């Protein structure tokens, strides 16, 4: 057990302890939301990047874009923690067979466990790997780029790999020194990753002003996701711009934190300091920030990573997977406005 714990600690080596600030809890309850979930987008850092890729590929029929920071190809870990460590994080001990990984997606699509891969053709994809990132290799991120090239029109893919950032979410002025990877894994890099990403994923965005008038609301992940939320924290968070709170139709973006970056560890840093809310506020984008939790028992997840190697189930990378299903249920649960027209296809996952 001690050996397994050490292995899991190193695979998630991302991120420190702070009490969640009051800014992440409006206390007034989530307002009714009218979301266009048929054009949703996702993003994530590291384990959250792997999860964002999985969620995108599972639901590419209604998730139309993905922004991935510091993560490798879909199904890289192949449902095995040893493979994850040896090939998908800070080293590649043996060559990665990209065709074999992609063939898993083909099989999943043929059985209906993920959306048809043809849905990825017109997707918008934004990838990032910092030149000072030693937590996830450039080779792993390069392979994700190649994998998306096989599925998506190349003109729709942007790969940023020339910024001198360490392993974190780069921002204009928030976080730690750009060359350092430390909690809360947000980097002061004079680079607006959130803006670069969102402007690629979504058309015709308005440049944000200096104030954020929207609010972050707390939701009960357990209530919304049911038994599928067993490996998630009790609380998740939703950023809601004022116009969206007043009932206007709004876009939806889902952003997945990295290991040791969940709220119990870093407070509201990931929820409020990446720059995503700044752009969302002036562009009618509601942002869902789902949260994991750490577990020192089976399923073992001591650093609160998203499941990209199979700790929750063998189906972790498809629609049947508990975490993908749980987040899907959260989206359905928060989309409660009077004009709600949620028709997203949830496939074979248990989303009742």
Average pLDDT value over all residues in the chain: 90
pLDDT score of 302: 87
Model confidence band, residue 337 (pLDDT cutoffs 50, 70, 90) = confident
Contact present, 235 and 335 (Cβ < 8 Å): no
46 in catalytic set:
yes
pLDDT score of 283: 98
> Average pLDDT for residues 10-27, to the nearest whole number?
38
Residue 255 β-bridge partners? 43
pLDDT score of 261: 97
Q: How many CB atoms lie within 10 A of CB 173?
A: 10
Catalytic residue among 56, 59, 129, 167: 167
- pLDDT at 222 > cutoff 50: yes
Tell me the C-alpha to C-alpha distance, in Å, between residue 14 and each of 26, 49, 88, 113, 185.
Answer: 28, 12, 14, 30, 7
pLDDT score of 17: 31
Catalytic residue among 46, 47, 251, 255: 46
pLDDT (tens digit per residue) in 85-102: 999 999 988 889 999 999
Percent of the chain with pLDDT over 90: 84
pLDDT score of 238: 98
pLDDT score of 347: 65
pLDDT score of 344: 76
> Average pLDDT for residues 209-227, to the nearest whole number?
96
Tokens describing residue 259: 């290991």
247 or 348: whose pLDDT is higher?
Answer: 247
> Average pLDDT for residues 93-120, to the nearest whole number?
96
167 in catalytic set:
yes
pTM of the model: 0.90
pLDDT score of 296: 87
pLDDT score of 9: 44
pLDDT score of 339: 52
- pLDDT at 42 > cutoff 50: yes
Question: ∠89-260-50 over CA atoms, to 5°?
Answer: 40
Catalytic residue among 43, 47, 59, 133: 133
Model confidence band, residue 117 (pLDDT cutoffs 50, 70, 90) = very high
> Which of 350, 351, 346 has its CA nearest to residue 60?
346
Residue 240 β-bridge partners? 215
pLDDT (tens digit per residue) in 272-287: 999 999 999 999 999 9
Contact present, 236 and 330 (Cβ < 8 Å): yes
Residue 253 β-bridge partners? 41, 287
Q: Which residue has the tokens 């996952």?
A: 349
- pLDDT at 114 > cutoff 90: yes
Q: What CA–CA distance (Å, rounded) separates 312 from 320? A: 11
240 or 24: whose pLDDT is higher?
Answer: 240
pLDDT (tens digit per residue) in 174-187: 999 999 999 999 99
Q: What CA–CA distance (Å, rounded) separates 60 from 40? A: 9
pLDDT score of 340: 52
- pLDDT at 5 > cutoff 60: no
């Amino acid at each position: 057990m001690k050996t397994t714990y050490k292995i899991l600690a190193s695979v998630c080596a991302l991120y420190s302890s702070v009490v969640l600030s009051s800014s992440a809890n409006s206390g007034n309850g989530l307002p009714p939301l009218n979301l266009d979930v048929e054009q949703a987008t996702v993003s994530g850092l590291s384990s959250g990047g792997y999860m964002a890729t999985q969620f995108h590929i599972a639901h590419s029929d209604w998730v139309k874009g993905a922004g991935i920071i510091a993560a490798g190809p879909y199904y890289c870990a192949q449902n095995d923690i040893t493979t994850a460590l040896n090939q998908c994080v800070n080293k590649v001990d043996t060559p990665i067979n990209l065709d074999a990984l992609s063939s898993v997606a083909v099989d999943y699509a043929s059985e209906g466990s993920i959306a048809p891969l043809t849905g990825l053709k017109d997707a918008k994809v934004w990838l990032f790997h910092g030149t000072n990132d030693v937590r996830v290799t450039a080779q792993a991120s390069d392979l994700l780029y190649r994998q998306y090239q096989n599925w998506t029109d190349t003109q729709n893919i942007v790969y940023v790999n020339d910024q001198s950032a360490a392993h974190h979410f780069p921002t204009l002025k928030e976080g730690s020194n750009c060359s350092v990877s430390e909690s809360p894994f947000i980097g002061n890099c004079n680079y607006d990753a959130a803006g670069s990403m969102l402007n690629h994923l979504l058309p015709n965005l308005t440049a944000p002003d200096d104030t954020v008038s929207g609010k972050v609301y707390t939701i009960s992940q357990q209530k919304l996701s049911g038994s599928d939320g067993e490996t998630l924290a009790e609380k998740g968070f939703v950023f809601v711009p004022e116009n969206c709170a007043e009932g206007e139709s709004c876009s939806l973006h889902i952003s997945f934190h990295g290991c040791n970056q969940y709220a119990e560890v870093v407070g509201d840093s990931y929820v409020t300091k990446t720059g995503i809310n700044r752009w969302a506020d002036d562009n009618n984008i509601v942002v869902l920030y789902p949260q994991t939790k750490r577990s020192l028992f089976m399923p073992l997840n001591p650093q609160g990573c998203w499941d990209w190697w199979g700790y929750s189930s063998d189906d972790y990378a498809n629609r049947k997977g508990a975490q993908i299903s749980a987040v899907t249920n959260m989206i359905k649960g928060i989309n409660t406005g009077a004009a709600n027209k949620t028709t997203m296809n949830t496939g074979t996952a248990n989303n009742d």
